[in-house]
Chains A and B, each alone.
Chain A
């Protein structure tokens, strides 16, 4: 299908970008742009004067178009459209047929009919070329005027300041600045602030005439007053670029622009218009966000139409919220919902601080429940919160004025440490979701499950690392509201992980299916399956892939390797304590060479081999096991590594042999499955070179024995391990670790590492010490016995896997072509090794 896009502005580009991301090879796309540069960020145009290089404003460099097979004709505007033959002709004479024509011609500056606007020294403020002309001319200008006190006009005024113009005047026809966004009081505050920055603001001014011979020398207004200036910049609004409509007879709106319906279709069903050139319900949207939304609607519908099987309904553009927040010359200005509404059905809350130039207005429904709109000048940090209230019709708190007053003096409540985090603390860094947003998802939008929060905020939908914290925050928030929480695993099991652990043990259940039959309902899912599998492994330590256990494992556990970008796997053999013979090092090198693997030293003193095909995994492990290696469990929620410093055998400071002790600890707990991964380290002296205090359990040598630290984590929220016991001997230390680990395994929530587990424990480290060291629960003997059973039943999973033909069969990519590898796996050369080729270029569908 051939798509021709006319216009390479922000919206036209966004259309292409979205279309490519949905269907990289589905369409033949050609773009014509009038300007000589590929699409750039017009919103931040004034930063060009502030010194931002042009390259940083360009949205994507030209090669992007080639890489995505888009033909780009720059500096070649389309001159005519023949709707009968569905062909366009460009200025340079390129003729091209289309199946779908997308008009994204944007807008031009509106030049009001004023006498003498054609004089030298009069400019418009629209494109980079305009800016270059302004810059060139401004060198000899001392006094400038900007015609237009709206959003764009003030942007232009900012540009004048950046160019070093001594005196800049802003001329506005209306009675106030930003008449579309601000009320009189808000505009007055903004004006006073701008005046204090050196601008002259003239409102209620009807410009009549540009004075001067050939060159502008001043302005004359309708009230006959005059203003002497050296240059004039017109930024008084936009008009849609709809010239193409005239010749081919496309319908245009009363205020210009191609008339479009809710699907962005013009009066010709094969022609669409998006962005500032479209007239939707007689409205021209002069902001970029609605333009992007139009692009989204069009892309969705084009893709749906082509994929005839799709049953979902087409998307519609039903108008767009014109709420905006921006920084104007360092001043925050925001306007949302209906900022001006008055009358019986509305109550208005006003806050005005003339000393600090702050103005806030909230329009609230007369029942006090909903926010209808508002204005913020000078301070707009609550904009997102307010906008969310307004857009989502959230019920307002009883004292809504608190929403615009500073949030000092909030009530404190002790808890899991989550309350200590500031509102704006980022919980989900993939999606940029703050603690406050999650809190509000629970508190105001009524999300009472992690899935609901995910849908509401998108938090946790990227890497998923923040999900436990999200859950804690949800539980914490609900508890604060006095709600009863059942901390259940998912819809299939109405139990917490701790309850499941106990029930599986009491009922002596050995497989996921048995657990589901006895304790759950439905088919299970990607949440409960790994949880139950982990519980089963922690309790019985049977080979995890046996008895149909493979498909109840997380993908990494299912294939005993870590899935990586592109669908290959990485392999980590265990290297206890980080000690390895040269012979074994050579074997790793030879295996990596033979199977063409990328090698990297890990943070845990091991070697990771990347880029293994699924079907090569058993072959690789056969060779590694033959050389005396065993699984490193890097793929499992299990003990990973016990790092060590070189210790007293070599180090002149070493107190004890940390390497030997690390090997002993690692070999004791290897393969131990837990709610999350476990890391450990042993340092031979107080210098702590093994970084033991960043581990789940860390051991540091003292003159008299070992200090045992527990519940340390690295990761996104680092936390030092805390001292559990000091100056203990090696045997006692192992016994304490046995108890500590069994306590953790039997009680922690899924995917909760030891640090957050401790943080949530009532009584904290003192309670934990009482349980582990003083045996206050009378569990020590049982836990030590249970741990010994697990230690004694350890077997290398890979050794078991390669010896079992049924399991080995699962390591083929194609069920019906076992000898073939995944042909879509591709690599490229990088610093002498291989890395996955860019998957974005992978053909997705035929």
Chain B
């Protein structure tokens, strides 16, 4: 596979520049286009913390997590899908209110000079 533009490589991760911090939504999510993939990016203003996950909800395959409501259960940050309120941990991606629901993928996020980067694992042996 080939990596989309705006990608730099650090610490065995490809860091993709997603947006300006000012483009993100306070206490909510936006959807980031990463090549053919869609990544949900969340900003927890109260904690000044960023999280990223796949945008598709594994419950009914809806492209919707970025439009869900963020929140916490105990200390664990989570995202609730707007369709049927499946909640996923933004730390490890597990579904917090339905044991039969699949996990979601989560990605590391870093902010430098008001730019938000999402980290993807480098896949070895790829061309392009």
Residue of A nearest to B94 (CB): A312
Residue of A nearest to B92 (CB): A311
Which residues of chain A are within 8 angstroms of B69 by Cβ–Cβ distance?
525-526, 529-530, 551-552, 554-555
Question: Is the beta-carbon distance between B61 and A525 smaller than 8 angstroms?
Answer: no
Contacts A461-B98, A525-B69; is A551 near B27 (CB within 8 Å)? yes
Question: Is the beta-carbon distance between B47 and A810 smaller than 8 angstroms?
Answer: no
Q: How far is the CA of A529 from the CA of B85 in the complex (A)?
A: 13
Question: Is the beta-carbon distance between B84 and A463 smaller than 8 angstroms?
Answer: yes
Q: How far is the CB of A301 from chain B (nearest CB, A)?
A: 14
A731 at the interface (CB under 8 A from B): no
Contacts A525-B71, A554-B82; is A817 near B25 (CB within 8 Å)? no
Residue of A nearest to B103 (CB): A310
Q: How far is the CB of A516 from chain B (nearest CB, A)?
A: 8
A397 at the interface (CB under 8 A from B): no
B32 at the interface (CB under 8 A from A): yes
Question: Is the beta-carbon distance between A464 and B62 smaller than 8 angstroms?
Answer: no
- Of the listed residues A528, A552, A555, the one surrounded by the most CB atoms of chain B closer than 10 A to its CB is A555
Question: Is the beta-carbon distance between A309 and B105 smaller than 8 angstroms?
Answer: yes
Q: How far is the CA of A463 from the CA of B60 in the complex (A)?
A: 12
Q: Which of A559-567, A603-611, A720-728 contacts B (4 or more CB under 8 A)?
A: A559-567
Q: How far is the CA of A127 from the CA of B87 in the complex (A)?
A: 44
Question: Is the beta-carbon distance between A526 and B31 smaller than 8 angstroms?
Answer: no
Q: How far is the CB of B37 from chain A (nearest CB, A)?
A: 7
- Of the listed residues B29, B69, B87, B121, the one surrounded by the most CB atoms of chain A closer than 10 A to its CB is B69
Q: How far is the CA of A825 from the CA of B37 in the complex (A)?
A: 13
Contacts A523-B47, A526-B85; is A817 near B72 (CB within 8 Å)? no
Question: Is the beta-carbon distance between B63 and A822 smaller than 8 angstroms?
Answer: yes
A820 at the interface (CB under 8 A from B): yes
Q: How far is the CA of A524 from the CA of B47 in the complex (A)?
A: 12
B67 at the interface (CB under 8 A from A): yes
Question: Is the beta-carbon distance between A842 and B61 smaller than 8 angstroms?
Answer: yes
Question: Is the beta-carbon distance between B72 and A525 smaller than 8 angstroms?
Answer: yes
Contacts A310-B103, A555-B69; is A567 near B97 (CB within 8 Å)? no
Contacts A550-B25, A842-B61; is A813 near B31 (CB within 8 Å)? yes
Residue of B nearest to A809 (CB): B23
Tell which of B31, B63, B67, B74 touches A559, judged by Cβ atoms closer than 8 Å. Answer: B67
Q: How far is the CB of A845 from chain B (nearest CB, A)?
A: 7
Q: How far is the CA of A555 from the CA of B84 in the complex (A)?
A: 11
Q: How far is the CA of A525 from the CA of B87 in the complex (A)?
A: 10
Q: How far is the CA of A525 from the CA of B97 in the complex (A)?
A: 13
A600 at the interface (CB under 8 A from B): no
Q: How far is the CA of A844 from the CA of B102 in the complex (A)?
A: 12
Which residues of chain B are within 8 angstroms of A37 by Cβ–Cβ distance?
none
Which residues of chain A are within 8 angstroms of B84 by Cβ–Cβ distance?
461-464
Question: Number of residues in A with C-beta < 8 Å to the partner?
Answer: 54
B73 at the interface (CB under 8 A from A): yes
A319 at the interface (CB under 8 A from B): no
B3 at the interface (CB under 8 A from A): no
Which residues of chain B are within 8 angstroms of A351 by Cβ–Cβ distance?
none
Q: How far is the CA of A311 from the CA of B91 in the complex (A)?
A: 12
Which residues of chain B are within 8 angstroms of A567 by Cβ–Cβ distance?
62-64
Q: How far is the CA of A106 from the CA of B77 in the complex (A)?
A: 46
Q: How far is the CA of A440 from the CA of B68 in the complex (A)?
A: 32
Question: Is the beta-carbon distance between B71 and A454 smaller than 8 angstroms?
Answer: no
Question: Is the beta-carbon distance between B78 and A815 smaller than 8 angstroms?
Answer: no
Q: How far is the CB of B63 from chain A (nearest CB, A)?
A: 5
Q: How far is the CA of A526 from the CA of B78 in the complex (A)?
A: 10
CB 8 Å contact bits of B16-34 with A (1 = contact, 0 = none) = 0011000111111111110
Residue of A nearest to B77 (CB): A523
Contacts A451-B97, A550-B28; is A524 near B102 (CB within 8 Å)? no
Question: Is the beta-carbon distance between B46 and A523 smaller than 8 angstroms?
Answer: yes
Q: How far is the CB of B80 from chain A (nearest CB, A)?
A: 4
Which residues of chain B are within 8 angstroms of A558 by Cβ–Cβ distance?
28, 67
Q: How far is the CA of A548 from the CA of B62 in the complex (A)?
A: 25
Question: Is the beta-carbon distance between A555 and B24 smaller than 8 angstroms?
Answer: no
Q: How far is the CB of B48 from chain A (nearest CB, A)?
A: 12
Residue of B nearest to A840 (CB): B61
Q: How far is the CA of A820 from the CA of B32 in the complex (A)?
A: 11
Question: Is the beta-carbon distance between B25 and A816 smaller than 8 angstroms?
Answer: no
Residue of B nearest to A567 (CB): B63
Contacts A523-B47, A567-B64, A820-B33; is A810 near B97 (CB within 8 Å)? no
Contacts A559-B67, A839-B60, A844-B58; is A524 near B82 (CB within 8 Å)? no
Tell which of B31, B54, B85 touches A814, judged by Cβ atoms closer than 8 Å. Answer: B31
Q: How far is the CB of B100 from chain A (nearest CB, A)?
A: 8
Tell which of B36, B61, B63, B71 touches A529, judged by Cβ atoms closer than 8 Å. Answer: B71
Q: How far is the CB of B14 from chain A (nearest CB, A)?
A: 14
A491 at the interface (CB under 8 A from B): yes
A142 at the interface (CB under 8 A from B): no
Q: How far is the CA of A461 from the CA of B101 in the complex (A)?
A: 11
Which residues of chain B are within 8 angstroms of A306 by Cβ–Cβ distance?
none
Contacts A464-B84, A840-B61; is A526 near B67 (CB within 8 Å)? no
Question: Is the beta-carbon distance between A526 and B19 smaller than 8 angstroms?
Answer: no
B38 at the interface (CB under 8 A from A): yes
Question: Is the beta-carbon distance between B102 and A551 smaller than 8 angstroms?
Answer: no
Contacts A491-B73, A555-B69; is A525 near B78 (CB within 8 Å)? yes
Which residues of chain B are within 8 angstroms of A817 by Cβ–Cβ distance?
33
Residue of A nearest to B86 (CB): A461
Which residues of chain B are within 8 angstroms of A593 by Cβ–Cβ distance?
none
Q: How far is the CA of A554 from the CA of B70 in the complex (A)?
A: 11
Which residues of chain A are within 8 angstroms of B60 by Cβ–Cβ distance?
839
Question: Is the beta-carbon distance between B97 and A455 smaller than 8 angstroms?
Answer: yes
Question: Is the beta-carbon distance between A523 and B64 smaller than 8 angstroms?
Answer: no
Contacts A552-B27, A816-B32; is A522 near B61 (CB within 8 Å)? no
23 contacts between A and B (CB under 8 A): A22-B102, A455-B97, A461-B98, A463-B84, A464-B84, A522-B75, A523-B27, A523-B46, A525-B69, A525-B73, A526-B80, A555-B67, A555-B82, A563-B67, A566-B62, A815-B41, A824-B38, A824-B63, A839-B60, A839-B61, A844-B56, A844-B61, A845-B56
Closest 9 CB pairs of A and B: A551-B28, A525-B71, A555-B82, A526-B80, A815-B30, A523-B72, A526-B69, A814-B33, A817-B33
Task: Give me the interface of B with A, judged by CB distance under 8 Å.
Answer: 1, 18-19, 23-33, 36-38, 41, 44, 46-47, 54, 56, 58, 60-64, 67-75, 77-78, 80, 82-85, 87, 92, 94, 97-99, 102-103, 105, 121
